[in-house]
Amino acid sequence: MRCPLPIDWLEYLEGGGTKELTAHLRECQPCRLLVDELRKDATNREPLRLSNPPADKWPRWHESAPDFVAYGEIWWSARMLNGEVLRRIPLLIMSDLWHEHGDSWCEVVPLSTDVENATALDLLLLAADTDLGLPWRALLRHQTTVRRQELEARIGRLSDTGRSLMDEVVAGRAPENRFGVPVADAYDDRLSAPEDVERVIRFLGRPFAEASEHDDSEAAQDRVVVYKFKRVRPESPNHDMSLAADTTAPERTWPWTVDIPQRGQIRGRIEYQWTNDELSFAIEDIAQEGLGFSTMIWIVASLSKSSGRITSEPFVPEVHKKIVLARDRAVFPREVSGLELILSHES
């Protein structure tokens, strides 16, 4: 059952509930949050009147265009041509500005008021979490890097509670009840972002991608070195039969190891979590020597099925740490034909 509209929940609170709505409310966390907000508003809501409210009571977003952009602010993106219509989307600023490739950049996450369709990868912001007075969902999986010139106007910012929540998200400690309902399967309609958001965010992220690609390739090769992982036969040929009955257990594969001169060895496995369509490399053991592994590295996986390659985000190796290789792409461990570790000399 798709999430009911807010008007349905208003009728539900006024005594017009059905068994279907009650059952849905027990299972859907975003709807419970919405109903809680509506219930709080109901106590202060004035009776409906046919006359229009005074103009000073209308909600307004005050736009400004300061030169400074800061973490936690909410901005309109620049207008992008979508078909024959110029569109812009609200963006949550996820970093302060930095200078690179001759431009100023920052990390952003698109926002949407469609909280009913939030997935487990979307952060739910309540009305009190920003000074705009609206609930939002932050589409974390569509985070991208944009130029300062692509930000048109500031319309708000996170409140103290919203900023504390976002700090917890960045630190990887956000409460589970602030995320949406897990994706049901690969055909779940919520996997795709709204069309206008997807098009705009793709245009916004293109300049940084192109600037990075046009970097001097020879200089880039001088700065990094590649080490290949080796597959290791398991110590015991018998698999844990309990995994066969556990539908929540990740798909298990042979261990992979890589030796880096003067630093040590890293050993881990490729795992797949079907509940959120996530392929990751789980570090099981690190043997450090010499310089050790206190620097940022990357993992690149070669895929046999599509002859493609996927790259992780940079990370510092730690035992029991999981490094995401692919998410929402239906890539499985058996498709990985090779792994490489990328180490920067500048590190």
Q: What is the pLDDT of residue 246?
A: 47
**Strand 322-327 with 278-288, pairing:** antiparallel
Can you say whether the dihedral through the CA atoms of 252, 325, 222, 288 is positive or negative? negative
Determine which of 43-47, 50-54, 112-116, 334-338 has the lowest per-residue pLDDT on average: 50-54
Q: What is the pLDDT of residue 13?
A: 80
pLDDT winner (highest mean) among 196-210, 238-252, 327-341 = 327-341
All structural domains of the chain with their residue ranges: 6-46, 73-213, 217-344
Determine which of 19-23, 133-137, 269-273, 274-278 has the lowest per-residue pLDDT on average: 19-23
Find how far residue 221's CA is from the centre of its chain: 30
**Strand 224-228 with 336-344, pairing:** antiparallel
Q: Examine the pLDDT at 251 and tell me if it is beyond 70.
A: no
Q: What is the pLDDT of residue 345?
A: 56
Mean pLDDT value across residues 113-132? 90
% of the chain residues with pLDDT over 70: 80
Mean pLDDT value across residues 335-343? 90
The hierarchical CATH code for the domain 73-213 is 2.30.30.110
By CB atoms closer than 10 A (0-12, 13-18, 19+), residue 97 is middle
Q: Examine the pLDDT at 84 and tell me if it is beyond 90.
A: no
Mean pLDDT value across residues 241-247? 46
Q: CA–CA distance from 340 to each of 115, 229, 300, 312 (Å)?
A: 39, 6, 5, 11
Mean pLDDT value across residues 126-147? 92
69 within 8 A of 151, measured Cβ to Cβ: yes
Find the radius of gyration of the CA atoms of the chain: 24
Considering only CA atoms, which of 56, 51, 58, 4 is closest in space to residue 32?
4
Q: What is the pLDDT of residue 247?
A: 45
* Residues in contact with 175: Cβ distance below 8 Å, sequence separation at least 6, in sequence order: 168
CA angle at residue 35 from 29 to 40, to 5 degrees? 130
pLDDT tens string 152-197: 999 999 999 999 999 888 888 888 889 988 877 777 777 776 667 7
By CB atoms closer than 10 A (0-12, 13-18, 19+), residue 49 is exposed
| Global pTM value | 0.48
Q: CA–CA distance from 265 to each of 11, 80, 226, 318, 341 (Å)?
A: 61, 48, 14, 12, 11
Q: What is the pLDDT of residue 120?
A: 87
Q: CA–CA distance from 85 to each of 26, 73, 79, 82, 91 (Å)?
A: 40, 26, 9, 5, 19
